[in-house]
Amino acid sequence: GRSLPSTVDNHHLTMIGESGNAKSSALGVLAALLALSNTASAFTLHPCPVLAHARQASRASSQSALRLGRARMSSVVAGGGIGREPPKPLPKYTTEAVGTNIPKADSARVSWPDLRPTQFRHPIDTQSTKALQQFFPLEFLIRQGSSGVVEQFMFLDNMSSGVRVGPNQLPKIYALLQEAKQVLGLNIPVDLYVKQNPSPNAYTMAMQGKKPFIVVHSSLIELMTPDELQAVIAHELGHLKCEHGVWITAANIITSVAAQIPFTGRFVAQGMQVALMRWVQSAELSCDRASLLVVQDPRVVVSVIMKLTGGAASFADEMNPDAFLRQAREFEEESSNSWIGRQLRQTNAQTLTHPLPVVRVRELDTWSRSDEYRQLISKGRPVSAPPPSR
């Protein structure tokens, strides 16, 4: 039950190329490959001789053009004329109108007191959870095992190294938590802790035990607006609502047991591991939907994913969710029409705990325009004052 991110973890994307020197005729292909990987996410590329050669050639070309430009500018300045005029300032950054590419926010916030996880789960998440619910003895053992030592350890760790949010401690963040719980119909006490950490992230154990909790890093709070912070909190509440911690733990146990089967166990476990990673990624998509149900504005959730992909507090106000959505659409089109793109997506689907940021944005955009989401909104009740803490 990891977080948005987040969130988005800093996984390394390995690009395999030819060894030796790159031929000049291949530079165009390599540039396209590099552009495709940069469009996918802000992940770090491992060094590669071919890509390194392409970058070196591009850098040399840029330096030559720069020297030529300086020489021409010097001649213009020496001869008088427009070269002496001061440069004009760059145009001020402006964002596009709301709703240009992403649907507008709903006019009135609504909540669902009796919301069921099946009403917003991703289809793969729903199918996998139903399959594992048949192993109820395993579910019972996991709940019993986590309700003792594990929960107590996490509780003491959070209490000793974090700041617990409450009515008299960071009350604005506490109000965001209470409202998000009300919207999702999550009527259980949930502790929220803030921990000092330079990496923007949030997480939960994703299990409705005796002491459910959410941890948010201080750097994430600095990066987000209040609405975006509530979207992050809602994402973690989505994990708790679906209890992903229980079911994914059960799947891991079954996969480990399958690996012990003589002769065929290894191959069976490999197939199950691939399916498990697809499920883990679809669970994140379910929780992105939970975020949308709480803030009821697709732009806010897209902005969260965008900032966790390549954002910083110093330029956060210049980031454009609509442009990021167009980037996601471009990646989908380019990757679907090329063998390299399909291999990239397949590799990521088998190795990453979170879908690629652009994939998350496209999935969220599609669901926000769906009849399923519109019907949920139409059946919601107006949001009232948050209920008292339980």
Contact criterion met (CB below 8 Å) for 311 and 304: no
Q: Which residues pair with 166 in a beta bridge?
A: 169
The yes-or-no answer on residue 284 being catalytic is no
Q: E strands within the chain?
A: 12-13, 44-45, 110-111, 163-164, 191-195, 202-203, 213-217, 381-382
User: Rounded to whole angstroms, how far apart are CA atoms 225 and 228?
Assistant: 5
Report the 10 Å Cβ neighbour count for 208.
16
Catalytic choice (236, 243, 284, 363): 236
Q: How far is CA 87 from CA 75, 76, 81, 84, 90, in A?
A: 17, 14, 13, 9, 9
Contact 209, 159 (CB under 8 A): no
CA distance 155 to 145: 15
For residue 63, give the 3-state DSSP assignment. helix
Q: How many C-beta neighbours within 10 Å does residue 108 have?
A: 10
Cis peptide before 95 (omega within 30 of 0): no
Pairing of strands 12-13, 44-45: parallel
Contacts 24+ apart (CB under 8 A), 23-31: 24/57, 26/50, 27/54, 27/57, 27/58, 30/54, 31/58
Which residue has tokens 């002769």?
263
Name the residues annotated as catalytic. 236
